[in-house]
Amino acid sequence: MTTDTYSRDAERLAQEILQGFQRHYDRFTHITAQARQRFADGAWLEGQQAAAARIHFYDERVSATTEQLREQTLGELDEALWLSVRQHYEALLQFHPQAELAETFYNSVFCNLFHRRYFHNSYIFVESTLARTLPLAVETEYRSYFPVTEGLARCLLQIVETADFAAPFADLIGDLRHLQAAFQEQALSVDLQPEQSRIDVLKAPFYRNKAAYIVGRLVTTNATYPFIVPVLRTKQGLLYIDALITDRDQMAIIFGFARTYFMVQTRAPSALVRFLKDVMPNKTLAELYSAIGLHKQSKTEFYRDFLQHLDSSRDQLVAAAGIKGMVMTVFTLPSFPFVFKVIKDVFGGNKSMDRATVIERYRMVKRHDRAGRMADTYEFANVAIPLVRISAELLEELQSTVAGSLKIDGDHLIIRHLFVERRMTPLNLFLESASPDEVDAVMKDYGQAIKDMIAANIFPGDMLLKNFGLTRQRRVVFYDYDEVRYLTDMNFRELPRATTVDEQMAAEPWYAVGPDDMFPEQLPVFAVPQPKLRQALLQFHADLATPEFWQRQQQLIQQGVVSDVFPYPESLRFTDQTRQTD
């Protein structure tokens, strides 16, 4: 093959992959843009369906592009050709507004086509090329407002009107009075003059569940004050501003890893993410890409972070703290805030499910509304980890529990399939040394976590304390999904009462129990066997022990009711709440 022929073929293949990416992003953008009208219409169930569907778009288009190219490559890698393909593709991305996403798409297609021995920077984008190009201006994603020319009140009005939520406000002037007062109280440490500040606001609102969010920052001569303004909808279809959030920890919770992805329009994702990184500096790029629904890019950024961390650290991977699970072997790198979970070859206890069921339940949580109470996961295949970074004890455990998922290739351990989650403090371990006040606070939030999940039609299944963790903000989050079911699939029953001595003395239930039966009266005893902890739970959530509570939640879901789960404290909501959310 001549050099000219190589060049033409390489250019054609690069163009075909980029066209595949563009088809994906056009589809992604289209369904995202519809969030505005769904919010205006109160089409909450439709929004949930769109959010779940959008997650699959990437894999569908990668598969289609892979098949298109597989017919041409016949599974054989021509090294000279594909070195040239990568060069042509990189050239196409120099001024592409979604260059980083297109790189990830290329990697996915290439890795589907060829063996992992080619998974290095000569053939794929292990390292992003963005560092060698001019970054997209962050200003492309936000507008600036200047109180010196209009005054703060007029600027706030312009911000809300420009957001264009496609529905009228019930009392916008009254809302703006609340908002201006909250700005003065929360954001400004001194009474600034108009000429001393500028307000930057992202052009596109963020939509999720039953709310829209305006995200921006107030810039002064001395500091920058980030803010989020939630906008809700009444049952009458009118809008109102619900709160002002300026605390960075509260903002981090709104953008947290336990929440559903936002719908937000962006032409230049890297610029949008850099703005978000400026107002939430403790968030990683991986977390922020995930928050805006670009979970494949999040996965890429996470893996780059992991490789860089391995290069800059020396500690070894070890078994994770806590009680060992019956379905997963879990390990961690102490200096890296994540855990790695591999499905065991043989399940312990009375687990009757198979490997495919476990994988599907983790994916079910991925595409479901996580209500701020279920940790997001990354799913990886064929992960290579240097053997020198794995402790001898962990390697022995892996070989005895997940040998079917392992392969040693030279000086690397290849794990065929694993899940990655944010590392948290296991709830049972935290409670062992918690003060009485901490016990009350945590058990109250544990019960609320269960209620938030069931309001989203999730039955956690195994609700033992060891399956929940505490985040940095002391929020209780669920992270073990092998027993997860839809709430509406379960049958909640009252516990039958024994009427004879034989029934009272029976070692096993004397009444029939179906596979989907659940007796809420037993929940506190089985999930929280420690009397003091159980007493703390029932002090706040006695209704969890009644079948009527669970049955009522099922009825609401079956009626199409989408419950309100606010990602910020009730205390931050504006007090004039005579309106009911839709």
Q: Does residue 164 share a domain with residue 288?
A: yes
Q: Does residue 182 share a domain with residue 273?
A: yes
Range of the domain at 56: 3-134
Q: What is the pLDDT of residues 532-572, one digit of tens each?
A: 999 999 999 999 999 999 999 999 999 998 888 889 988 88
pLDDT at 59 over 90: yes
Q: Does residue 387 share a domain with residue 513?
A: no
List the single range of 187-196, 333-342, 519-528 with lowest mean pLDDT. Answer: 187-196
Known binder of ligand: residue 322? yes
The answer to whether position 568 is within a domain reads no
Q: What is the pLDDT of residues 354-373, one digit of tens each?
A: 999 999 999 999 999 898 99
Q: What pLDDT, on the 0 to 100 scale, is given for residue 23?
A: 97
Q: Does residue 9 share a domain with residue 53?
A: yes
Nearest to 266 by CA among 293, 237, 236, 303: 293
In angstroms, the CA 491 to CA 15 distance is 53
**Does residue 327 sit in helix, strand or coil?**
coil
* Confidence band for 46, pLDDT divided at 50, 70 and 90: very high
In angstroms, the CA 412 to CA 389 distance is 9
The answer to whether position 573 is within a domain reads no
Task: Tell whether the torsion through CA atoms of 347, 351, 353 and 358 is positive or negative.
Answer: negative
Tell me the sheet residues that pair with 219. 198, 224
Q: What pLDDT, on the 0 to 100 scale, is given for residue 519?
A: 92
CATH code of the domain covering residue 442: 1.10.510
Burial of 267 (0-12, 13-18, 19+ CB in 10 A): middle
Q: What pLDDT, on the 0 to 100 scale, is given for residue 137?
A: 84
Q: Does residue 417 share a domain with residue 433?
A: no
Q: Does residue 397 share a domain with residue 442?
A: no
The answer to whether position 502 is within a domain reads yes
Q: Does residue 350 share a domain with residue 322?
A: yes
In angstroms, the CA 122 to CA 82 distance is 9
pLDDT at 2 over 80: no
The answer to whether position 298 is within a domain reads no
Catalytic residues: 376
Percent of the chain with pLDDT over 70: 93
* Confidence band for 216, pLDDT divided at 50, 70 and 90: very high
In angstroms, the CA 581 to CA 409 distance is 57
pLDDT at 577 over 60: no
Q: What is the pLDDT of residues 489-515, one digit of tens each?
A: 999 999 887 767 666 666 667 667 788
pLDDT at 50 over 90: yes
Q: What is the pLDDT of residues 464-484, one digit of tens each?
A: 999 999 998 899 999 999 999
Q: What pLDDT, on the 0 to 100 scale, is given for residue 3?
A: 63
Domain end residue (candidates: 134, 163, 185): 134
In angstroms, the CA 49 to CA 47 distance is 5
**Does residue 573 sit in helix, strand or coil?**
strand
List the single range of 43-52, 189-198, 214-223, 305-314 with lowest mean pLDDT. Answer: 189-198
Q: Does residue 189 share a domain with residue 51?
A: no
pTM: 0.92
Q: Does residue 315 share a domain with residue 273?
A: no
Q: What is the mean pLDDT of residues 62-90?
A: 88
Q: Does residue 504 share a domain with residue 437?
A: yes
Q: Does residue 492 share a domain with residue 436?
A: yes
Q: What is the domain count for the chain?
A: 4
Buried b / exposed e along 531-541 (16+ C-beta atoms within 10 A): eebbebbbebb
Are the C-beta atoms of residues 200 and 216 closer than 8 Å to each other? yes
pLDDT at 25 over 60: yes
Q: What is the pLDDT of residues 256-289, one digit of tens each?
A: 999 999 999 999 999 999 999 999 999 999 999 9
The answer to whether position 563 is within a domain reads no
Domain end residue (candidates: 370, 391, 423): 423
Average pLDDT, the chain: 91
Using CA atoms of 157, 158, 162, 163 in order, give the dihedral in degrees to the nearest 10.
Answer: -40
The answer to whether position 581 is within a domain reads no
Known binder of ligand: residue 187? no
The answer to whether position 579 is within a domain reads no
Domain end residue (candidates: 86, 107, 134): 134
Q: Does residue 517 share a domain with residue 411?
A: no
pLDDT at 70 over 90: no
The answer to whether position 163 is within a domain reads yes
Q: What is the mean pLDDT of residues 315-333?
A: 94
Using CA atoms of 90, 62, 13, 19 in order, give the dihedral in degrees to the nearest 10.
Answer: -80
